Structure 1
Amino acid sequence: MNSYYLGVDVGTGSARAAVIDAEGSLVALAVEPIMTYNPKHDIFEQSANNIWESICKTVREAMAQAKIAPEQVKGLGFDATCSLVVLDKSGAPLSVDQVSGYDDHNLNIILWADHRALDQANRINATQHDVLRYVGNTISLEMEIPKILWLKENMPPAKWDAIGYLFDLPDYLTHRATGSFARSTCSLTCKCSYLPKGVGKGWDESYFKAIGLECLINDEQQRLGGTDVDNLPMAGDCIGKLTAEAAAQLGLPEGLPVGSAVIDAYAGAIATLGATPSPVERDALLERSSLSKLGSNRLAIICGTSSCHIAMSPDPIFVPGVWGPYRSVMIPDMWCAEGGQSSTGQLIDHVLKTHPALEEAQRLADAENMNIYAYLNRHLELMQQSHQFKHLEDLTRQMHIYPDFHGNRSPLADPGLKGMIVGLSLDSSIDDLATKYLATLQAISCQTRHIIECLNERGYTIDTLCLSGGLCKNPVFVRLHADITRCRVVLPECIDGAVVIGAALLGAKASGVCDNLWEVMVRMGRAGREVEPTTDKEVIAMNERRYRVFHAMLQDQKNYVDIMTGADEKSSD
């Protein structure tokens, strides 16, 4: 029988399941929405049971689409957002919901986007502990340790003491599938202040004491996953076999090998960093020396609700404001840097939803059976023709947006930064909507360039962007990333399924098809088209000027803060 591999991806708003064949080609893909509770602008909570139920539906649907026997699936892999899952001592969901008095146990996940732990993150950063070197010297409130500290400081003592297990969501899924409590190198290192083998001795006791979580030390870190630094599973290592209960729920064979999970951004990187449409480049990537040479010039960008930027290097490179360097979180002995933008797809949607012309634009798009983004892309072309502009970029000469509406993740690591818009008028037409939409895409691309420049200044040599995620379906978004960053863009063969295909590749490794994840990535990764940056000197010049405005707006915002706090008056004294 032909062999197949199954991947499960849990994103911010949905669960996906994909079946791939032995060549890495997508055979079937199913999607199921998941619930998010958002009582306040900075509070986002989810349900572990709801997520597992959605996973079961998607897996069964994907298998039905694939029309294959369950026994033909040889490996299963998971990825998920870096969200905090809380269980009691019996392994049942335990509430994180302050609104319900921590009694709604259906709400037992703090989503990555939840920003309740701002004060806790600031106090952790104020310690300037050496552990923070491995998160760009600034821990993010989106990571697990600030969220855990928030729970300790806000839950009633009896509720806090009832916590038995604290999981990063990817590791919870492998636990649910196999019964194993083992955590992954990826989740612990990237999100839980863990120093893996070759970097440290796991949990640094002085760090947890300094930040007020010494109680986690007292139970030998069992709530976080134990202390066995020598045997922490790496990406795609077989973490266990599918239990009878999980197999029945998923419609898969009991005993199926399950790979150690990764955070969703890393699944996107696994699917794309080794993929190339060129057989010559593929052969070069498979050479033993290529990983440190050719792998280091590639940046995976996973573009969804937020965007993550993942680069690899053979040696640790410390970049202020960029998470990492993380050792062996994807490829053994390779170091990863992780940049990111807290709001990209979310920002685009926000700009559209808050514009008075959206309802009219959506009605016209629906009448032509187009999605709103395709409609606006075409409308921009019509505007360009109407104004007789030579370049699309001419439409936004007076419209500029600074994109940190949800704070800055990288490279400034400042969650207090805000968004800015320059060039407002009384226009509320579809033309104005389209112009703001274009300016938003340009702003996101400028910030990507800012991240790349900070990485390259410290020793990376990034010249190729390996994009994945839903935003890659937007040709304007893709072209602007190539033109503004001046990098080649490589798109995946299957844009909708790239991240979940990365999870399936973890299943392939767990099955024993190959013990080298990089080889799995190169041999089974499938690339689509390439986009080269423009050679038009006028467009290059306009983009350079826009990038200067991007930095000027950032500096202006900092100046405004100084004025309003009186810091400028103190400096003049």
Structure 2
Amino acid sequence: MLGEDQEPGSYYVGVDVGTGSVRAALVDQKGVLLAFADQPIYKWEPQFNHHEQSSEDIWTACCVVTKKVVQGIDLNQIRGLGFDATCSLVVLDKQFHPLPVNFEGDSHRNIIMWLDHRAVSQVHRINETKHSVLQYVGGVMSVEMQAPKLLWLKENLRETCWDKAGHFFDLPDFLSWKATGVTARSLCSLVCKWTYSAERGWDDSFWKMIGLEDFVADNYSKIGNQVLPPGASLGNGLTPEAAKDLGLPAGIAVAASLIDAHAGGLGVIGADVRGHGLACEGQPVTSRLAVICGTSSCHMGISKDPIFVPGVWGPYFSAMVPGFWLNEGGQSVTGKLIDHMVQGHAAFPELQAKATARCQSVYAYLNSHLDLIKKAQPVGFLTVDLHVWPDFHGNRSPLADLTLKGMVTGLKLSQDLDNLAILYLATVQAIAFGTRLIIEAMQGAGHSISTLFLCGGLSKNPLFVQMHADITGGNGKNEQSWESCVSQT
């Protein structure tokens, strides 16, 4: 694993590819953050529920942010590079050139994003097989996973994409290949999104049953027949070509990648809380639930033995923490939902103007505005007559129903800023209740969770954190003491 036998003055570069931007960080051997940079990336939505990106655009953004964070340091002290990214599907031909994943034939758009829901028909058919591999994804495969997307490509873009394809990568694995020329896949990606088993490998019968026997015939060369644990050093390190692109020394170690949520989960699950006076000090890591909350929310809990939770992905062995089983709950497009509700309100232009005048984000302004309009009761009671059902993009966990839609009850004719602030609060509360529902499902199946560890963009919002603490802490299901330990990353 990277990081062993470190020398004094060593630096490491981490690149995180999210839904809307790429971030890079420079850290020292103790993990202290020394530099940070971010760069937006393009997204296309050619039709409803089709979401696409460009691998070339994302790689260019990776190069921009990496060059920024290493400015002014001795490049010879950089010892390693690691990538994490969303679990989007990258399609390349046999010569590693982009192939179109769209009806327009635009090969620049060669990524089907994680949140893409085009493969609804395909995922229904996969789930109707009731194949045994589905036990390890909560009983029902999600449309966000790769098998239904691959089947959609075969059935809809046979000539322009499928027949020409040489390589299907999870985005994190594409980035590590781009850096090293090594096509080995990370165990994290393959186990969590491709039905690979850390113990048994690929299941031929599954791919044959769903109509993707092509992969069996070529020994899975297109989707990965060399698998490495996350963090393992890839090949001979950074290639000269990639080194020039990234502004880094050739030959430095490059780690096998992680899915972005799993990188966040690994960071907070293993956080050292000693000496901070927290109630979770001294408790096992299996009592922690990592909540990675950004464009989407992921709820990561680990256990020593496999726990099967209906509607919650997993159990996945060694996919995040070596030697532990992982269960992953989630809420699709939570951050995007908050933006959608706020930006679509009639009072949004007024909110923008007032927030700008105060040099605040719109959410910092809304939080302060809620404090102004609350009465003697806590701010959470402002929504006593307004309620949101947050599954605007379907339910990932624990209902596992992509057909569900959102709902708002208690609407009035008011369109003022007070009304917008309270609708925003109700949306945040709805997301927190969704987290509580996931926790209760995991607890009911055998997890013992006492502490939430939050990271990601939404964890920097005090209202979001407080509502999660209030709503998950008062579930009435047990006598455990709950707390929220927040890591802002």
Shorter-chain TM-score range? over 0.9
Structure 1 length-normalised TM: 0.81
**Which residue among 30, 39, 45 is the counterpart of 1:32?**
39
**Which residue among 345, 357, 368 is the counterpart of 1:355?**
345
Aligned to 1:381: 371
CA contact (8 A) 1:234 1:330 kept: no
CA contact (8 A) 2:315 2:325 kept: yes
Deviations 1:159-183 (A, max 9, x none): 3111000000000000000000100
What one-letter code is carried by the residue in structure 2 that aligns with 1:115? H
Aligned to 2:11: 4
Task: Report the secondary structure of 1:79's partner residue.
Answer: strand
- The CA deviation at 1:158 is 5.9
Q: Given the superposition, is the C-alpha separation of residues 396 and 216 from structure 1 closer, same or farther in structure 2, using an over 3 Å criterion? A: same
Aligned to 1:272: 268
Distance 2:231 2:111 in 1: 24
Aligned to 2:27: 20
**Which residue among 431, 445, 452 is the counterpart of 2:439?**
452
**Which residue among 190, 193, 201 is the counterpart of 1:191?**
193
Deviations 1:303-360 (A, max 9, x none): 1011111111011000010000000112222100011000211000000111000101
**Which residue among 132, 142, 163 is the counterpart of 1:161?**
163
Report 1:24-423 matches (<5 A). Answer: 24-64=31-71, 67-98=72-103, 100=104, 102=105, 104-157=106-159, 159-197=161-199, 200=200, 202-226=201-225, 228=226, 232-240=227-235, 241-279=237-275, 294-384=284-374, 388-423=375-410
Distance 1:481 1:183 in 2: 35
Task: Report the secondary structure of 1:490's partner residue.
Answer: strand
Task: Report the secondary structure of 2:426's partner residue.
Answer: helix
CA contact (8 A) 2:85 2:172 kept: yes
CA contact (8 A) 1:299 1:465 kept: yes
Aligned to 1:464: 451
CA contact (8 A) 1:310 1:337 kept: yes
Distance 1:401 1:376 in 2: 18
Q: Does 1:488 align with 2:475?
A: no
CA contact (8 A) 2:100 2:160 kept: no
- The CA deviation at 1:212 is 0.8
- The CA deviation at 1:272 is 1.2
Distance 2:223 2:426 in 1: 43
CA contact (8 A) 2:153 2:161 kept: no
Distance 1:16 1:187 in 2: 20
Deviations 1:75-95 (A, max 9, x none): 111000000000000111111
CA RMSD of aligned residues (A): 1.5
Deviations 1:515-558 (A, max 9, x none): xxxxxxxxxxxxxxxxxxxxxxxxxxxxxxxxxxxxxxxxxxxx
Task: Report the secondary structure of 1:31's partner residue.
Answer: strand
Q: Given the superposition, is the C-alpha separation of residues 76 and 281 from structure 1 closer, same or farther in structure 2, using an over 3 Å criterion? A: farther
What one-letter code is carried by the residue in structure 1 that aligns with 2:146? E
Distance 1:159 1:39 in 2: 17
Distance 2:424 2:272 in 1: 31
Task: Report the secondary structure of 2:26's partner residue.
Answer: strand
Report 1:552-571 matches (<5 A). Answer: none
Distance 1:82 1:125 in 2: 20
Aligned to 1:542: none
Distance 1:360 1:182 in 2: 51
Give unmatched runs, 5+ long, in structure 2. Answer: 1-7, 474-481
Distance 2:215 2:277 in 1: 47
What one-letter code is carried by the residue in structure 2 that aligns with 1:28? A
- The CA deviation at 1:189 is 0.5
Distance 2:122 2:202 in 1: 19
Query: How many pairs were matched up?
Result: 472
CA contact (8 A) 2:99 2:160 kept: no
What one-letter code is carried by the residue in structure 2 that aligns with 1:224? I
CA contact (8 A) 1:45 1:108 kept: yes
Distance 1:42 1:135 in 2: 22
What one-letter code is carried by the residue in structure 2 that aligns with 1:346? K
- The CA deviation at 1:281 is 8.7
CA contact (8 A) 1:235 1:331 kept: no
Q: Given the superposition, is the C-alpha separation of residues 11 and 158 from structure 1 closer, same or farther in structure 2, using an over 3 Å criterion? A: closer
What one-letter code is carried by the residue in structure 2 that aligns with 1:169? L
CA contact (8 A) 2:383 2:425 kept: yes
Distance 2:256 2:162 in 1: 28
Task: Report the secondary structure of 2:161's partner residue.
Answer: helix
CA contact (8 A) 2:101 2:161 kept: no
Query: Whose helix proportion is higher, 1 or 2?
Result: 1
Report 1:511-522 matches (<5 A). Answer: none
Deviations 1:387-428 (A, max 9, x none): x33221221100011100110000111000111111001000
Distance 1:368 1:425 in 2: 29
Aligned to 2:5: none
What one-letter code is carried by the residue in structure 2 that aligns with 1:216? F
Identity of aligned residues (%): 51
What one-letter code is carried by the residue in structure 2 that aligns with 1:372? V
Distance 2:272 2:208 in 1: 47
Task: Report the secondary structure of 1:149's partner residue.
Answer: helix
What one-letter code is carried by the residue in structure 2 that aligns with 1:418? K
Deviates most, 235-244 or 10-19? 235-244
What one-letter code is carried by the residue in structure 1 that aligns with 2:222? R
Distance 1:417 1:85 in 2: 27
What one-letter code is carried by the residue in structure 2 that aligns with 1:234? P
- The CA deviation at 1:276 is 3.5
Higher relative contact order (CA 8 A, sep 6+): 1
What one-letter code is carried by the residue in structure 1 that aligns with 2:36? L
Task: Report the secondary structure of 1:38's partner residue.
Answer: coil
Q: Given the superposition, is the C-alpha separation of residues 52 and 225 from structure 1 closer, same or farther in structure 2, using an over 3 Å criterion? A: same
